Amino acid sequence: MTELTPQANNLDQWLDAYAARAETLTVSEVRALFSVVSRPEVVSLAGGMPYVAALPKDLLSDAYESMMRTRGDLAIQYAGGQGDLKLRDQIRDLMALEGIHSSVEDIVITTGSQHGLDMIAGLFLDEGDVVLAEGPSYVGAIGIFRHYEAHIEHVYTDNNGMSPEALEESIDRMKKQGKKIKFLYLVPNFANPSGVTLSADRRPKILEICKREHILILEDNPYGLLYFDKPVPDALRATDEDGVIYLGSFSKILAPGFRVGYVLAPPAIRDKLVLAQESALLCPSSFTQFMISEYLAHADWQKQIDTFRGVYRERKDAALSAVREYLPNVETTTPDGGFYLWLTLPEGIDSKAMLPLAVKELVAYTPGTAFFGDGTGQRNLRICYSYPTPENIKIGIKRLSNVINLQTEL
Ligand code: PMP
């Protein structure tokens, strides 16, 4: 990854030439940390990386051979902008696991769901438009919404996900200010960064409010199949075909290097998305789509997801027990799946200011402010337990406790 330095910006002789929107492209807190935390002696609880070592590589070699045998020329050719029909049909089966009935016609394959989010934001957001989102919300989505110059309005979220009452209040407040709400962005399952899941009883309430207020919902669900004990409640899209755009991804249930995600959208929006995709990149990669299609057709992918669930459950247990042992004064969420814990530090500690001290102690995390568009979250931090071994997670959290204890003694 290219390192971005402030010096590089100062020396930029093209500074006057950039479009105004280029100013929204700043180095994220997560990105700025990258060069430091990739040092082997640092336990990184920062980046949200899937543990791809748990995927047997022969499953991919088999998929590759089968793809080359059956569709070799097509795999290296341009193709349609909507994505491969066979893979779209397989995606229908995947989404059915969360109660979604869909047609292949309404699915658009994207270059990761990040790309889907970017295209949707490009279709809907003008400067000053409001996006409602959980507080905290996914840093990558916040970055996109900022790039399109939207105002991000965080809605109070607790251990059961977004509060429907708070959603109504936020909508009222925005309307009174004369603002235009374009959509509600939600990560309903094992959210990044909080780890919390929107409860089954809140889902119909949120759907009902958005329907009444004519607000589109963006349901971003990359983690839903990575539950520890019991499946998540049905997707919001399962009961509302017209008011929800659903985003899924193979990044966490297979591997992010393929860069394959998908969007299920109402027909008119789907048509626009296909046009946006053709305009930006002609077509998504046939090569990686076909690899995934072969993998789904021939490998035991359900068993592989079970393997991932086992890995992440063990790491979540290690992280939670270390937090309880070493950080008794710190509040934590208790996720039922996914990659993340969200910690609330004792009053007076600023997690961003503390980060350099933590890195000195050889542990890294992501400060809470990264996950809000309005600078709040100073007392919070995100721990990602998906990548380090359980032993290293414990070591990392012990190191973190040394840093936090020093802060509370000051
Ligand atoms: N949404 C959420 C909530 C995520 O956590 C991520 C990745 N960390 C993405 C979208 C993007 O995933 P991808 O582009 O790899 O599909």
ipTM of the complex: 0.99
- Residue 30 has a pLDDT of 58
**Cα 350 to chain center, whole Å?**
24
Asked if 99 contacts 203 with a C-beta cutoff of 8 angstroms, the reply is no
Q: Is 401 in the pocket of ligand 1 (CB under 6 A)?
A: no
Taking the C-alpha atoms of residue 260 and residue 390, their distance in angstroms, rounded to an integer, is 29
Q: Is 378 in the pocket of ligand 1 (CB under 6 A)?
A: no
Q: Is 192 in the pocket of ligand 1 (CB under 6 A)?
A: yes
Tokens matching residue 163: 């509060």
Sheet arrangement for strand 161-162? 107-110, 261-264, 244-249, 216-220, 181-186, 130-135, 151-158, 161-162
CA contacts within 13 A on the Cβ side of 407: 24
Asked if 341 contacts 396 with a C-beta cutoff of 8 angstroms, the reply is no
Q: Ligand 1 centre and the CA of 145: distance in Å?
A: 14
Angle at 328 between CA 327 and CA 330, to 5 degrees: 70
Q: Is 136 in the pocket of ligand 1 (CB under 6 A)?
A: no
Q: Ligand 1 centre and the CA of 247: distance in Å?
A: 9
Q: Ligand 1 centre and the CA of 114: distance in Å?
A: 6
DSSP code of 150?
Answer: P
Q: Is 193 in the pocket of ligand 1 (CB under 6 A)?
A: no
Residue 260 CA: which ligand 1 atom is closest?
Answer: 16
Q: Ligand 1 centre and the CA of 62: distance in Å?
A: 27
Buried b (16+ CB within 10 A) or exposed e, 142-163: bbbbbbbebbbbbbebeeebbb
Q: Whose CA is closest to atom 5 on ligand 1? A: 192
Residue 256 CA: which ligand 1 atom is closest?
Answer: 15
DSSP code of 190?
Answer: S
Measured in degrees and rounded to the nearest 5, phi and psi for residue 168 equal -60, -40
Instruction: Tell me if residue 114 falls in helix, strand or coil.
Output: helix
Taking the C-alpha atoms of residue 356 and residue 179, their distance in angstroms, rounded to an integer, is 39
Spatial CB neighbours of 409, under 8 Å, sequence gap ≥ 6: none
Q: Is 195 in the pocket of ligand 1 (CB under 6 A)?
A: no
Asked if 137 contacts 377 with a C-beta cutoff of 8 angstroms, the reply is no
Which of 91, 114, 187 best tests ligand 1's pocket when mutated (most atoms within 8 Å of CB)?
114
Q: Ligand 1 centre and the CA of 12: distance in Å?
A: 31
Sheet arrangement for strand 331-332? 331-332, 340-344, 380-384, 366-367
Q: Is 251 in the pocket of ligand 1 (CB under 6 A)?
A: yes
Query: Would you give per-residue pLDDT tens digits along the chain (410 residues)?
Result: 445 555 555 678 998 999 988 888 887 665 666 677 778 899 999 988 999 999 999 999 999 999 999 999 999 999 999 999 999 999 999 999 999 999 999 999 999 999 999 999 999 999 999 999 999 999 999 999 999 999 999 999 999 999 999 999 999 999 999 999 999 999 999 999 999 999 999 999 999 999 999 999 999 999 999 999 999 999 999 999 999 999 999 999 999 999 999 999 999 999 999 999 999 999 999 999 999 999 999 999 999 999 999 999 999 999 999 999 999 999 999 999 999 999 999 999 999 999 999 999 999 999 999 999 998 999 999 999 999 999 999 999 999 999 998 887 75
Spatial CB neighbours of 320, under 8 Å, sequence gap ≥ 6: 332, 334, 341
Buried b (16+ CB within 10 A) or exposed e, 355-390: beebbebbbbbbbbbbbbbeeebbbbbbbbbbbbeb
- Residue 77 has a pLDDT of 97
Which of 113, 120, 285, 386 best tests ligand 1's pocket when mutated (most atoms within 8 Å of CB)?
113
Place of tokens 């789907």: 270
